[in-house]
Amino acid sequence: MKKIFFTVALLAGLFLTYEAVSVAVYLFSSPSKDETLKIILIEPGTFRKTADQLNREGFVPDVKRFILVARLLGKTSSVRVGEYELKMNMSPYKLLSIITSGKSVVHAVAIPEGYNIYQIALALSDKKLINADEFVKLAKDPQMAKLLGIEEPTLEGYLYPDTYSFTHFTGEKVIIKTMVDRFKEVYNRDIKFGAIKTNKTMHEVVTLASVIEKETGVPEERPVISSVFHNRLKKGMKLQSDPTVLYGKKGDKMNITREDLKTYSAYNTYVIKGLPKGPIANPGREAMIAAIEPAQTNFLYFVSKNNGTHYFSETLNDHNKAVQKYQRNPKSRAGRSWREFSEKHTTKN
Q: What is the pLDDT of residues 19-50, one digit of tens each?
A: 556 666 777 888 878 888 998 899 889 999 99
89 domain-assigned? yes
Q: Tell whether the model's pLDDT for residue 349 goes beyond 50.
A: no
CATH code of residue 55: 3.30.1490
Q: How confident is the model at residue 69 (pLDDT cuts 50, 70, 90)?
A: confident
199 domain-assigned? no
Q: What is the pLDDT of residues 118-153, one digit of tens each?
A: 999 999 999 999 999 999 999 999 999 999 999 999
88 domain-assigned? yes
pTM reported for the whole predicted model: 0.82
Mean pLDDT, rounded, for 240-261: 85
**What is the spatial distance between Cα 309 and Cα 55, in angstroms, rounded to a whole number?**
58
Identity of the residue numbered 74: G
73 domain-assigned? yes
Q: How confident is the model at residue 288 (pLDDT cuts 50, 70, 90)?
A: very high
**What is the spatial distance between Cα 149 and Cα 181, in angstroms, rounded to a whole number?**
10
Number of alpha helices (DSSP H) and beta strands (DSSP E) in the chain: 16, 6
pLDDT greater at residue 320 or residue 347: 320
Concatenate the DSSP letters of all residues of 312-333 into one string: EESSHHHHHHHHHHHTS-HHHH
**What is the spatial distance between Cα 145 and Cα 142, in angstroms, rounded to a whole number?**
5
Q: How confident is the model at residue 342 (pLDDT cuts 50, 70, 90)?
A: very low
230 domain-assigned? no
Mean pLDDT, rounded, for 274-297: 97
**What is the spatial distance between Cα 163 and Cα 114, in angstroms, rounded to a whole number?**
14
Q: How confident is the model at residue 338 (pLDDT cuts 50, 70, 90)?
A: very low
40 domain-assigned? yes
Percentage of residues in the chain with pLDDT exceeding 90? 68
Q: Tell whether the model's pLDDT for residue 259 goes beyond 60.
A: yes
39 domain-assigned? yes
Number of compact structural domains in the chain: 1
104 domain-assigned? no
For residue 83, give its domain range: 21-99
User: Tell me, what's the pLDDT at 334?
Assistant: 54
**What is the spatial distance between Cα 132 and Cα 110, in angstroms, rounded to a whole number?**
16
Average pLDDT across the chain, whole number: 87
